Structure 1
Amino acid sequence: MEPKQHHTQQQQQSAPQHPDQHQNNAHLDPHSSQWQFGLFDCCGDMKACLLGCCLPCVLHGKTMQRMHDPSLQSHELLNHECMVWCCMPRTWLYNTATRTRIREKYGIEGDASSDFKTSYFCTCCALIQQDREVALRAGHYPPDPQGYQGQTQGMQMPRHSGVQDAQEHTGHRHHRQER
C-alpha cells in the first residue's frame, strides 16, 4: 500500500461519524411517552424558532389552534390564544398550564414542576418544542427536511457582466483614446 493511500484511509477511519448530520424524521414516534424534540433543538424548525423568539404570542396561538384543529384550516394569525398570551403579565405561568395540557393530551411523561421550570427558564425554547411536538402528534409535522441541495449541473458563468449589459443597452461604450 502506498503511503498516500494509507494516510487517506487513516483520515477516513479517524473522521468522527455524526449520525445526526443527515438526520431525518424516521426516528420520531408520535405515540412515544417522551418529548420527541429536545428543548434546545430550537433551530430544527427555523420558522417556529423565529416565531418563538420574535412573536411568541403567535406561535402559542398556532400551537393551541393545532390542538383543536390539527389541519389548521381555520387558523387565524391573531386568534384568541394569541390575544390571551399578549395580555398575560407572566407568560411563563400561562405556558406552564399549556405545557401540562399538552403532556396530558399526548401522554408525555413529566410533572407540573418540570413544566414550571421549563416554562420559567426557557419560555421561547419551550414554545418551539411544544409547537413541533403538537404538529408531530397531530400528524402534520413536515416531511424529512431536505436541507441545502447543491446544483445538479455545473456552474455556468453569465454571458456578460451587468456593466457590459448596461453599456450595450444604452449604446455607450468608453473607448480608449490613442495619443
Structure 2
Amino acid sequence: MGRVIEVKGKPQADTEWSTGFCGCFSDCSSCCMTCCCPCVTFGRIAEIVDQGSSTCCMAGAMYFLSLFSGCGSVFMSCKYRTKMRKQYKIKGGECGDFLKNLFCERCALTQAYRELTIRGFDVPLGWEGNVDRHNARMGAPVVQGGMRR
C-alpha cells in the first residue's frame, strides 16, 4: 500500500525545523484545526509519516482513544514527531520531542503539520493523494505494447 519516494544523492546534514515551535500565527487554519480537533491533525501527520501504511481515520481514532488513557496521546504524538524528525534529518532528540509534546502537544502537532506542508505535501490529501499529485506532475508512465492479460 505505501510507496517509498526515493531521493538519491549525498545524505544531508541535520537541518532545523522550517518554522518555530510557536509559529502558529503564520498558519492560522492548521492551528485552529489542531486546537479544536487534534485527532484530525495527528491522523493526517501519521498517514504521511507512515507513507500510507496507516490511514488518517485509523491514526486519528487511535489518538482519540489514547486521550482517555492519561498521557497516551503524548506518547503517540511524540513517537511520530521523532519518526518525522529522523525521516527529514531535522535536528533534535527524543527527550526534546517528549518534553515539547508533554508541555504543548498542540504546538508540536501544528509545527509538524507546517513542516510537511513546507516540504511540499498537501497534507489534507493524505499519502495516496500526494503520490497521485506527484505522478500527475511527472507524467503518467508509458506502457509498452498496451495492457494484456
TM-score under structure 1 length normalisation = 0.53
How far apart in 2 are the matches of 1:109 and 1:32?
A: 5
1:42 equivalent in alignment to 2:24: yes
- Is contact 1:66–1:135 with CA below 8 Å preserved after alignment? no
Q: Give the distance between the partners of 1:54 and 1:85, measured in 2 at CA.
A: 14
Mapped partners of 2:113, 2:36: distance in 1: 15
Q: 1:87: which partner in 2?
A: 65
The separation in 1 between residues aligned to 2:14 and 2:113, in whole angstroms, is 16
Counterpart residue identity of residue 86, structure 1: F
1:140 counterpart residue number? 121
Aligned length: 105
Which 4+ stretches in 1 moved above 3 angstroms?
Answer: none
User: Is this contact kept in 2: 1:52–1:59, CA < 8 A?
Assistant: yes
Asked whether the equivalents of residues 102 and 134 of structure 1 are also in contact (C-alpha less than 8 Å), the reply is no
Identity of aligned residues (%): 28
Is the CA contact 1:100–1:112 (under 8 Å) kept in the aligned structure 2?
Answer: yes
Check conservation: 2:21, 2:111, Cα contact below 8 A.
yes
Q: Distance in 2 between matches of 1:63 and 1:43?
A: 19
Structure number with the higher helix fraction is 2
Spell out the pairing of 1:2-13 with structure 2 (5 A cutoff).
Answer: none
Corresponding position of 1:27? none
Q: In 2, are the aligned partners of 1:58 and 1:82 still within 8 Å (CA)?
A: yes
Deviation at 1:140, TM superposition (A): 2.9
RMSD across aligned C-alpha pairs, in angstroms? Answer: 2.3
Worse-superposed segment, 124-133 or 37-46: 37-46
> Is 1:103 aligned to residue 85 of structure 2?
yes
1:65 equivalenced with 2:37 (yes/no): no
User: Corresponding residue for 1:128?
Assistant: 110
Q: Which residue of the partner structure matches residue 173 of structure 1? A: none
1:81 maps to amino acid: A
